[in-house]
Amino acid sequence: MIPTLEWTPAGVSFLDQTKLPLEETYVLATDYQQVATVIRDMIVRGAMAIGVSAAMGVALGIQSSTATDLPTLSAEVDVICATLAGTRPTAVNLFWGIAQVRDLYTQLAAANTPIPEIKQQVVVLANRLYDEDIANLHKLGAFGAELLPQEGTVLTHCNAGALAACGYGSALGVIRAAIEAGKNIDVFADETRPFNQGARLTAWELVKDNIPTTLICDNMAGYFMGQGRIKAAIVGADRIAANGDTANKIGTYSVAILCKEHGIPFYVAAPFNTIDLATPNGAAIPIEERSAREVTHVKGVQVTPDGVGIANPAFDVTPAKYITAIITEHGVLRAPYTDSIAAMAKQ
């Protein structure tokens, strides 16, 4: 299993994804501010991974506190949670992870639990969320594997693999599960400009798993669909609205439209905590705008003329009408998504 992140006695260890695929190095975050930096700088990325990372960040902040009374510690927890919440706006899993640990802290503080016991329990919770992420994605993978063709090429966009989670992955977890079930599948990974998560990360982890993978440029998907080469497309998600509209890495919307035009199933794979019932539709999802330098420079080398304007939204929203199914650890959701999501939420 690819060790994306790990709680250690010294702090939280992160595989530095900005250095992949050429260098496998680790960054140790010893306080919550460093965890926030790791998330903000995309040393760790992917909705599922940053959700658990944020939970570990809150736990680390509480564990490291020198507060001797609950009012002081509670004030510190407010700052810790606000700092981590301010790192990236789109992936709802980030706020879910923070809330999981904060809610536990609130319950324990209300019961006047001794601070040493609080510190122990929040760390136990953060590590349990890590284990549950891996277990849930194996369940998700099994549900999704049944939807993929017995053989053929599957297209994926960005990286929704083990690197985007605590292990196994969502979209790539479905692909892994399908291959484990005996299906003869190979993968087209598009590059996913401008941060190149497909070229750097998806290709890297699939090659490590000996899964046949072909890297294509983002603007080649339509060509290969027209040639009949692609039998299905599957992506992850950073936030799914209550009506099924889905925010994922920029370029996902274009892939979904191409799939619709060519009659190719387009699947979204994400744990249920990626669904934000408080967000009614895609128009209400905040879209992160990232640094222009990600577009103007490649490996530190400027590739654009001085003075040109740059737009760099990190995500786009795919309307639910383009999504064939949403795969979760609880089962497969289908249209009308407002109804199927609400029904699953009640289970």
> Does residue 299 register a pLDDT over 90?
no
Domain with CATH 3.40.50.10470 in the chain: 141-345
Question: What would the CATH number be for the domain defined by 5-138?
Answer: 1.20.120.420
Residue 15 three-state SS: strand
> Does residue 168 register a pLDDT over 90?
yes
- Among the listed residues 133, 190, 218, 238, the single catalytic one is 238
Return the ∠ at Cα 135 (arms to 130 and 138), rounded to 5°: 130
What is the chain's mean pLDDT, rounded? 97
Whole-number pLDDT of residue 3 = 84
Q: Which CATH class is domain 141-345?
A: alpha beta
Residue 324 and residue 194: Cα distance in Å, rounded? Answer: 27
Residue 208 and residue 240: Cα distance in Å, rounded? Answer: 30
For the segment 40-84, what is each residue's pLDDT rounded down to a tens digit? 999 999 999 999 999 999 999 999 999 999 999 999 999 999 999
Check if the beta carbon of residue 323 is closer than 8 Å to that of residue 240: no
- Output the DSSP codes for 41-78: TTSS-SHHHHHHHHHHHHHHHHHH----SHHHHHHHHH
Q: With bands split at pLDDT 50, 70 and 90, how would you rate the model's confidence at 2?
A: confident
Domain with CATH 1.20.120.420 in the chain: 5-138
| Host H or E run for residue 222 | helix 221-226
- Output the DSSP codes for 105-135: HHHHHHTT--HHHHHHHHHHHHHHHHHHHHH
For the segment 237-285, what is each residue's pLDDT rounded down to a tens digit? 999 999 999 999 999 999 999 999 999 999 999 999 999 999 999 999 9
65 contacts: CB under 8 Å, gap ≥ 6: 73, 76, 115, 119
User: Residue with structure tokens 């484990």?
Assistant: 180
Q: Name the pTM for this structure.
A: 0.96
* Residue 238 annotated as catalytic: yes
